[in-house]
Amino acid sequence: MKKLRVILDEREVDGNPFQPDMWRIVRRYPLTNDVNFYQARAVDVDRTLLMDYLPGQFVMGSVSGDGEAPFCISSTPSRPGLLELCIRKMGTLTETVFSLKENQTIGIRGPYGNGFPIDKMEGKDILIIAGGMGAAPLRSLLLYALDNRDKFGKITYLHGARTPGEMLFREEFMQLKERDDLACLLSVDEDDTGAWTEKIGVVTKLFDEMEPIDAANTYAAVCGPPVMYKFVIQRLVGLNIPKHQILMTLERRMKCGIGKCGHCAIEYLYTCMDGPVFTYWDVLHMKELIGKGVSDNVIA
């Protein structure tokens, strides 16, 4: 896979690393009330070919006049040519992106960030725990592992949402439950439909439904709201998964995405380049990594 540095160097030859490429939205539909799914293809085919990424990396998305923001990649590099994003309506930029229709374009630069350490994860069992919007980057990892099924051991996917209507990719994950080469367990805090057939309760309850794991041979990947981390990490540590094999995707405010502005710096680390994926070991040794106030939630 083409590494981040190579891509940056190629862009710098072009003269401006901040110049976005235009991507045409080929599919767009709501995942929940305030989250839309976008599938896009680069207008310049060569740029599509350059968009080789790792699960867990992000792009900077922009609309002229409304700024730029980081968005995790939800698609998998094992299905090249299309970029998939899940965007929650939050403020200026995301409201504009919400109003974009199929066939309109969005500016994209990247991919940026470290992504998941796929080379180390291959050959191991994979336990993925997603909460809310955390499913956006973790779907990339899950689809990658399923597309390369023979390279991974057991795959377990745990996904929690507040209600069935707030579960990203609900139908897609329900279909995965039919497969016999992974365990896919879904839960909602509250069933406001009366039609939910899966577990009710917080996502950590799903740990009780899992088959025993081989901790030393397992990589766990976690992404979700800050409050979820503490309880999930407690369970993972309780299962004896080594701290350097517990991976978390963390968010910091970012401006440039390429280690130039310092907005995301914590001590000597740039979240945009050294992250957004960190190990639990990293977090224990750098509590500021997840921000004041949030760290209490993450440190088990």
Ligand X SMILES: Cc1cc2nc3c(=O)[nH]c(=O)nc-3n(C[C@H](O)[C@H](O)[C@H](O)COP(=O)(O)OP(=O)(O)OC[C@H]3O[C@@H](n4cnc5c(N)ncnc54)[C@H](O)[C@@H]3O)c2cc1C
Does residue 82 contact residue 42 with C-beta atoms inside 8 Å? no
AA letter at 281:
W
Q: Contact between 250 and ligand FES (CB under 6 A)?
A: no
Contact 118, 54 (CB under 8 A): yes
**Which region among 17-25, 56-64, 164-172, 249-257 touches ligand FES (by CB under 6 A)?**
249-257
- What is the closest distance, in whole angstroms, from the C-beta atom of residue 137 to ligand X in the complex? 7
Q: Measured at CB, which residue is nearest to ligand X? A: 91
Does residue number 124 form part of the binding site for ligand FES (CB under 6 A)? no
Please give the structure tokens belonging to residue 129.
Answer: 């725990």
Q: What is the largest CA-CA distance in the chain?
A: 57
Shortest separation between residue 281's beta carbon and ligand X, angstroms = 20
- Phi and psi angles of residue 288, each rounded to the nearest 5 degrees, phi first: -65, -15
* Site residues (CB under 6 A) for ligand X, limited to 93-152: 93-94, 136
From the list 17, 67, 226, 259, which residue makes contact with ligand X (rule: CB under 6 A)?
Answer: 67
**Is residue 260 a contact point for ligand FES (CB under 6 A)?**
yes
- Which string of DSSP letters, residue by residue, matches 109-132? EEEES----HHHHTTSEEEEEEEG
- Single out the segment in contact with ligand X by CB under 6 A; choices: 87-95, 138-146, 209-217, 221-229: 87-95
For 181, which DSSP code? S
Q: Is 261 in the site for ligand X (CB under 6 A)?
A: no
| Binding partner at 233 among ligand X, ligand FES, none, C-beta below 5 to 8 Å by kind | none
Contact 116, 277 (CB under 8 A): yes
Residue with tokens 């106030």: 293
What whole-number distance in Å separates Cα of residue 156 and Cα of residue 130? 11
CB of 270 to ligand FES, least distance (A): 5
The answer to whether residue 259 forms part of the interface with ligand FES (CB under 6 A) is yes
User: Which of residues 40, 51, 87, 186 is near ligand X by CB under 6 A?
Assistant: 87
The count of chain residues that interact with ligand X, using the rule CB under 6 A, is: 20
CA distance 184 to 175: 9
Residue 90 touching ligand X (CB under 6 A):
yes
Measured distance CA(128)–CA(78) in Å, rounded: 18
Residue closer to ligand X (CB basis): 133 or 182: 133
* Binding status of residue 59 toward ligand FES by CB under 6 A: no
Give the SS3 label for residue 276.
coil
Residue matched to tokens 């390279």:
151
Rule CB under 6 A: say whether 31 interacts with ligand X: no
Any idea which residue has 């760290």 for tokens? 295
| CB nearer ligand FES, residue 49 or residue 261 | 261
Find the binder of ligand X among 23, 37, 58, 157 (CB under 6 A): 58
Count of other CB atoms within 10 angstroms of residue 222: 25
Tell me how far apart the alpha carbons of residues 266 and 286 are, in angstroms, rounded to a whole number. Answer: 9
**DSSP at 53:** -
| Closer residue to ligand FES, CB minimum distance, 55 or 113 | 113
Instruction: List residues near ligand FES by CB under 6 A.
Output: 254-257, 259-264, 270, 272
Instruction: List residues near ligand X by CB under 6 A.
Output: 58, 67, 69-72, 86-88, 90-94, 136, 251-254, 276
